[in-house]
Amino acid sequence: MITLSVIKADTGGFVGHSAVHPRLTAEARREIERAKSSGLLVDGHVESCGDDISLIMTHTYGPEAGLIHSFAWDTFQATTHIAKDLGLYGAGQDLLSDAFSGNLRGMGPGYAEMEFEERPSEPVLCFLADKTEPGAWNLPLYKMFADPSNTAGLVIDEKMHAGFAFEVYDLCEDRRIVFDCPAELYDMLMYIGAPARYVVHGVRSKTLGTTAAATSTQRLSLIAGRYVGKDDPVMIVRCQSGLPAVGEALEPFAFAYSVAGCMRGSHHAPIMPVPVGQAHPSRFDGPPRVVALGFQIKDGRLVGPRDMFDDPAFDGARRQATEVMDYLRRHGPFEPHRLPLEDLEYTTMASLTRRLSHRWTPITTEVATPAGLR
């Protein structure tokens, strides 16, 4: 069995929240090489999307392994030290604890992991996103694994025809449920259509009995009790031979669908599929970006990556994202560009509510006059 882990963190932005400084990625690559030499990792790759560093690693310790999570934590501590030396913005902002405590659950860094038996050919896509939240994967996962208009294999591939099981997390109540699709598809859509709360954590093939997709579901604001940046999720999708073809897994991103995030994590904006070299959101901290790295895994080795969105076939989605961003920006501080109030809990809304509470009166009474107008 091989385990694929993608662990990410924002340990300092260059400039502002737009990118990762080359010295941070260089340090992370040095740590990966040391871990390979010591035998901790079978293989590893470092990539960035926006201001987040992602460690893409193969090993034999299984998901939630303390050794692997500790290595990632130490690596992010090292990059944080460099970020502070360079004066980078928000140095170490995703590291919400002073010390490692067994695994990364609740400590800030996001991670997606899966363990599987390698097939003779094992194509895998690693998706990295910036300036958005874990629910950003709900729509594409539905399209990949449950929508025959997107994935022809659901109709014509015998191994896919029985459907997939979706594990969904309720991030507010800390609970989960598994939906059997297509039988419970409409039930599931009622929940995952609200991606701020309900998030697809994983997908399994009912025919093959194996994991097909895994996502990061960490919500930094729910962990910290305050706004500390968006969660910038990652996702792993296995492809081919009874699972969606690579082209079917990429197809949902030909549409610049709306996600929550962007400036101060408080706005709706279109997600833009881009090659790695363009994964640096700057305009109003957006549009949110997603990159797709393709690997063939052989004996645990990461053969690749291929930059899957470095393809003119996605130019239409990029143009669409730019046009939709123009449209939404013209709303300024109004919905639907700004998130609804219930999603602004960790902004000024809480203190504003307390400060103005005494001035709100029943409509049938006299309005309380502001002090400056008396």
According to the annotation, is 232 in a ligand binding site?
Answer: yes
Over range 7-23, report the average pLDDT.
96
According to the annotation, is 8 in a ligand binding site?
Answer: no
Q: Say yes or no: 122 and 161 in one domain.
A: yes
Domain boundary among 96, 116, 136: 116
Q: Say yes or no: 44 and 153 in one domain.
A: no
Residue type at 335?
A: E
Burial 346-357 (b: 16+ CB within 10 A, else e): bbeeeeeeeeee
Smallest Cα–Cα separation from 198: which of 212, 183, 187?
A: 187
CA atoms of 309 and 250, how far apart (whole Å) = 8
Q: Say yes or no: 136 and 262 in one domain.
A: yes
Q: What is the pLDDT of residue 99?
A: 67
Q: Say yes or no: 140 and 287 in one domain.
A: yes
Q: Say yes or no: 1 and 144 in one domain.
A: no
According to the annotation, is 174 in a ligand binding site?
Answer: no
Q: Which residues are catalytic?
A: 10, 227, 230
- The answer to the question of residue 362 being in a domain is no
pLDDT at 253 over 90: yes
Over range 150-160, report the average pLDDT.
98
- The answer to the question of residue 137 being in a domain is yes
According to the annotation, is 280 in a ligand binding site?
Answer: no
Q: What is the pLDDT of residue 230?
A: 53
- The answer to the question of residue 124 being in a domain is yes
Sequence-distant (6+) residues with CB within 8 A of 109 are: 7, 8, 9, 72, 73, 76, 94, 95, 218
Residue carrying the six token digits 């999570």:
69
According to the annotation, is 51 in a ligand binding site?
Answer: yes
Q: Say yes or no: 101 and 139 in one domain.
A: no
Q: What is the pLDDT of residue 97?
A: 72
Q: Say yes or no: 108 and 193 in one domain.
A: no
- Encode pLDDT of 311-345 as tens digits: 999 999 999 999 999 999 999 999 999 999 888 75
Q: Say yes or no: 182 and 296 in one domain.
A: yes
CA atoms of 239 and 253, how far apart (whole Å) = 16
Average pLDDT, the chain: 93
Overall number of domains in the chain: 2
- The answer to the question of residue 369 being in a domain is no
Domain boundary among 116, 150, 184: 116
Q: Say yes or no: 61 and 8 in one domain.
A: yes
pLDDT at 228 over 50: no
Q: What is the pLDDT of residue 83?
A: 97
Q: What is the pLDDT of residue 222?
A: 57
Sequence-distant (6+) residues with CB within 8 A of 60 are: 1, 2, 3, 42, 300
Q: Say yes or no: 86 and 134 in one domain.
A: no
Phi-psi region of 14 (alpha: psi -120 to 50; beta: other; left: phi over 0): beta
- The answer to the question of residue 361 being in a domain is no
Radius of gyration of the chain (CA): 21
Over range 282-301, report the average pLDDT.
97
- The answer to the question of residue 321 being in a domain is yes
According to the annotation, is 346 in a ligand binding site?
Answer: yes
Q: Say yes or no: 222 and 196 in one domain.
A: yes
pLDDT at 219 over 70: no
Q: What is the pLDDT of residue 101?
A: 65
pTM: 0.93
Q: What is the pLDDT of residue 291?
A: 98
Domain boundary among 116, 137, 162: 116
Q: Say yes or no: 170 and 29 in one domain.
A: no
Q: The domain containing residue 195 runs over which residues?
A: 118-351
- The answer to the question of residue 374 being in a domain is no
Q: What is the pLDDT of residue 146?
A: 98
State the sign of the Cα–Cα–Cα–Cα dihedral 198, 136, 95, 37.
positive
- The answer to the question of residue 373 being in a domain is no
